[in-house]
Structure 1
């Protein structure tokens, strides 16, 4: 039986007519200049209609009238969530609950008509298809709104979505096409396409999408759902993966490893081969349709690449995470990370260490005399007391001229240790503005899970760079990661998952090697990440976005040490930063020798 729990309750007299003609007059009289009052009237009117005993045909007619007016209310409420920081304040959460409830009541009205039709009310196939499509569409919009806010899906949502599709299958309505004004990029779709639009967005893992990408993908799937099919006998792909749906469970579709699928009547498989081919063609620059026209839908290259990976790779965690219930300081964004690290007196950093950790030469190192610090003059100390027995003959000069020597090898006095400890304790009690306190939930060598429990917004976004102040023995380290997913849980706050890019990072400055394209480029802050063999991650450079591209030469400066490198593959890019693999450059080329046309420009 369809929705046996949907019971008629005594009608609440809110003044809304139950017959189509007076209902149309009531809707025209709504005070649209006062959207608060209009929202109240529409919401209470929907409750009344869904509680009234009505024939299925009349109910659908009423819902079509109310739905048209409700679109203005829904659009008005949706504007409250454009580019909003998370977590939402209490008022924002109430508005979100109201928006989701309106979609649910609209869907419920059509589901009641379908239930009554299943009980014997006579409805044409056209009305059955219309009601099924409308109910599916509003459940889909609930899913999209939850995805945009990184919210947990409402309980029972997928149960209802699957049940609607199963009803369409039973009545052979899946290919029925229905016009719908709520779409942004198309005017109509079949019931199967409406179902697949929601299923594909779920397979895209909305909690891992960056802000605005869930809506962009929803529009993309509006145009491309026709490339995807549903199979009653799920078959594994070449990688033993299958896009599986169980119509009897309150769970979204999933891409799972299953060489042999059980023979269950409730199982369905999604066949996305044509969609995957379309994405690959777009990435190769050949995504065109018939006659050379632009293909059905396109995405930004970075989003298309990430979507293709999500749809074709099994989620796998390389390391087990250990529970940790403690506080941790965090900085979000490249600029904030730099300021946060600079404000930390407990950080340990030896000049030149970053270049050595990345395996880069410091051939541009300047030799200069150094004053021996006062603490090293006690007991008639001599610079040779700090001689490194493993040093080569070339390293002897660095006993005197290399300022990194004192940071790396010189002993410290107990008084210095106490001063450093006092400074660290003081700053943790009064942290800098750039430090934000989060709760550490669990950690592993590959990442962290943290939650925001403060009252204000967290400023966290999926895809953004994040620095975490952690300890390794007595040392304080700022680890660099990437926010991979977010989940906004009402009772627990905003929870984010972090993929660790490097166990440690090095603050450096970079400037472009002098070329015509970068003739006026100045120095800018950056981060150097050493190679992490355990994670199979190469050494890389994190730079502000929009300044460089693969193939550019840059000069890395850290203290008195310099190294010239060439940017190679761009590993990932966001609105605020870009991460590049780096390679050294042969500096033995004669200084006067220039490549290409560089020597020609000044003479023209």
Structure 2
């Protein structure tokens, strides 16, 4: 049985490649000469060296000592490359995709090195057998790294990737080493973990739906899981909150954890979420009592309020997970048009039914004022009305609720999408506005979840009073959302990022009349907009 698992999980040994070092000492000297200040060159060189190490006949113990020396440098270079991909819209550009692929290849190389050592230990190679728990932990660690790296570009692990990490865990379990501790200097708090904890890390990360989180939030979640995963376990029957179904996995059908609904099978294991619930509830209470996140093991990356919100999300995803939704989804096969970009959405709404704002001499645009001062008149080109091309894309509705819509379409590069981006949806004569709440990709499909914003959208233009005093009287194209008394939602403006300042006075043009308004409060923001409550502020 173990022989079958070894063959299924671990790579073959042997090879004919010659790495640029032949033992630990020469590898240490090679690493000292690596130009770490030149990240692209250093990243490429260390990737090639480890790939050659994986295809060489170097002794397994020697390979283990070498790769352990390389770990810190590898992670430093990986972080430097990944920082260039933070919050990039999808699909990635050609250059961005090349960077992402380079990071993915290096994580795979690290996984392969430890997996080869694991294979050698299974063959009782001299000197390596005693490191079996460490090799299993490191192999699972870098397999988990690949899963998390996929989430950075909101891509789901493939079936093959799930099968691989499950195969590693099954082998560790068959060898009775899944609960044995291994030292790991990259585990920030305790420095010790087990193969099962790393496997649970990958499972709980996936169950948390990371596709709804920003890169910063995903990193926070990863760091917290180093501890949270050690507070859980896998067993045929696990403890859960009262009247709550368990999260479980099926070793015969590798995938993200599922919610228990039917009968149990021998190949299934449940995740202990009761202990997780206790840990999370305790920290939420401490945050509400005024404790700072870093004092209770929650790091310094997030504010107390944001950390509490994420803990509540994790509690619902892992521990409560009700079997029925508060708002049921309605399946649909309809298509609709979707557009992004605040200015683009303004033109879409303004098409054929919005008069441009008046331009008086007092409030001429800054460009026109400059031309008058320099040439005595405005140019014919600037006075001509621009031709605005409205950019939209067709999406299919997968399902919908009263507060959101799930859309899908084939992956392509026609429209780049980003988390928390403003998007308008049009179905016939109905137009709705929302923000991208989550997004996920497979090899050929893209799905996005749209959280609808209350109110019917209308085109509008605004002009800042404080800017007008300096001769900058240009109007800015925005969108207004009408009030919805039934939802206690006031009329709001969607402004470009950075526009909100409490009490700021604006000239407001609705297509018919010029009024003066005052900004009251910021109700929400995304990557390309701010949603602001406003009130009238007298006549002009």
- Aligned: 1:179 with 2:184: yes
Give 1:266 deviation, angstroms: 4.1
Spell out, residue by residue over 1:365-399, the C-alpha distance to the aligned partner (whole angstroms, 9 max, x if none): xxxxxxxxxxxxxxxxxxxxxxxxxxxxxxxxxxx
Please say if residues 234 and 242 of structure 1, whose CA atoms lie closer than 8 Å, have aligned partners that are also in contact.
yes
The 5 A counterparts of 1:12-411 are 12-32=16-36, 35-53=39-57, 55-121=59-125, 127-169=131-173, 170-174=175-179, 176-181=181-186, 185-186=188-189, 188-191=191-194, 192-254=196-258, 256-258=259-261, 262-271=264-273, 272-281=276-285, 284-287=288-291, 294-297=295-298, 299-300=302-303, 301-302=305-306, 304-309=308-313, 311-312=315-316, 313-314=321-322, 316=325, 318-324=328-334, 328-333=337-342, 337-338=345-346, 340-342=348-350, 344-345=351-352
Please say if residues 483 and 489 of structure 2, whose CA atoms lie closer than 8 Å, have aligned partners that are also in contact.
yes
Q: Name the residue aligned to 1:362.
A: none
- Aligned: 1:439 with 2:372: no
Give 1:105 deviation, angstroms: 1.5
Please say if residues 329 and 400 of structure 2, whose CA atoms lie closer than 8 Å, have aligned partners that are also in contact.
yes
CA distance in 2, matches of 1:36, 1:507: 46
CA distance in 2, matches of 1:74, 1:208: 23
- Aligned: 1:4 with 2:12: no
Please say if residues 573 and 579 of structure 1, whose CA atoms lie closer than 8 Å, have aligned partners that are also in contact.
yes
Please say if residues 13 and 48 of structure 1, whose CA atoms lie closer than 8 Å, have aligned partners that are also in contact.
yes
- Aligned: 1:487 with 2:457: no
Spell out, residue by residue over 1:398-425, the C-alpha distance to the aligned partner (whole angstroms, 9 max, x if none): xxxxxxxxxxxxxxxxxxxxxxxxxxxx
CA distance in 2, matches of 1:175, 1:431: 68
Q: Using a 3 Å threshold, how does the CA distance of structure 1 residues 107 and 288 change in structure 2: closer, same or farther?
A: same
Give 1:206 deviation, angstroms: 1.4
Give 1:577 deviation, angstroms: 5.6
CA distance in 2, matches of 1:560, 1:461: 35
CA distance in 2, matches of 1:36, 1:566: 47
- Aligned: 1:497 with 2:449: yes
- Aligned: 1:464 with 2:473: no
Please say if residues 420 and 526 of structure 2, whose CA atoms lie closer than 8 Å, have aligned partners that are also in contact.
yes
Q: Using a 3 Å threshold, how does the CA distance of structure 1 residues 464 and 230 change in structure 2: closer, same or farther?
A: same
Q: Using a 3 Å threshold, how does the CA distance of structure 1 residues 174 and 572 change in structure 2: closer, same or farther?
A: farther
Q: Using a 3 Å threshold, how does the CA distance of structure 1 residues 107 and 578 change in structure 2: closer, same or farther?
A: same
Q: Secondary structure at the match of 1:498?
A: strand
Q: Secondary structure at the match of 1:294?
A: helix
Computing the radius of gyration over CA atoms, which structure comes out larger, 1 or 2?
1
Q: Comparing 91-100 with 316-325, which one deviates more in the overlay?
A: 316-325
Q: Using a 3 Å threshold, how does the CA distance of structure 1 residues 279 and 241 change in structure 2: closer, same or farther?
A: farther
Q: Using a 3 Å threshold, how does the CA distance of structure 1 residues 347 and 234 change in structure 2: closer, same or farther?
A: farther
CA distance in 1, matches of 2:257, 2:14: 37
CA distance in 1, matches of 2:398, 2:215: 25
Of residues 441, 449, 455 in structure 1, which corresponds to 2:407?
449
Unpaired segments ≥5 residues, structure 1: 349-426, 512-522, 585-604
CA distance in 2, matches of 1:23, 1:538: 66
Spell out, residue by residue over 1:419-460, the C-alpha distance to the aligned partner (whole angstroms, 9 max, x if none): xxxxxxxx9xx9835x432221226553251548664762x3
Q: Secondary structure at the match of 1:212?
A: helix
Please say if residues 288 and 294 of structure 1, whose CA atoms lie closer than 8 Å, have aligned partners that are also in contact.
yes
Give 1:18 deviation, angstroms: 4.3
Q: Secondary structure at the match of 1:86?
A: coil
CA distance in 2, matches of 1:431, 1:154: 44
Q: Using a 3 Å threshold, how does the CA distance of structure 1 residues 252 and 495 change in structure 2: closer, same or farther?
A: closer
Give 1:126 deviation, angstroms: 5.8
CA distance in 1, matches of 2:449, 2:291: 34
CA distance in 1, matches of 2:264, 2:518: 54
Give 1:103 deviation, angstroms: 0.6
Give 1:150 deviation, angstroms: 0.9
Please say if residues 161 and 195 of structure 1, whose CA atoms lie closer than 8 Å, have aligned partners that are also in contact.
yes
Q: Using a 3 Å threshold, how does the CA distance of structure 1 residues 306 and 82 change in structure 2: closer, same or farther?
A: closer
Q: Name the residue aligned to 2:363.
A: none
Q: Using a 3 Å threshold, how does the CA distance of structure 1 residues 144 and 555 change in structure 2: closer, same or farther?
A: same
Q: Using a 3 Å threshold, how does the CA distance of structure 1 residues 490 and 32 change in structure 2: closer, same or farther?
A: same
CA distance in 2, matches of 1:96, 1:115: 29
Give 1:311 deviation, angstroms: 4.0
Unpaired segments ≥5 residues, structure 2: 356-384, 464-474, 536-540
CA distance in 1, matches of 2:314, 2:485: 24
Q: Name the residue aligned to 1:371.
A: none
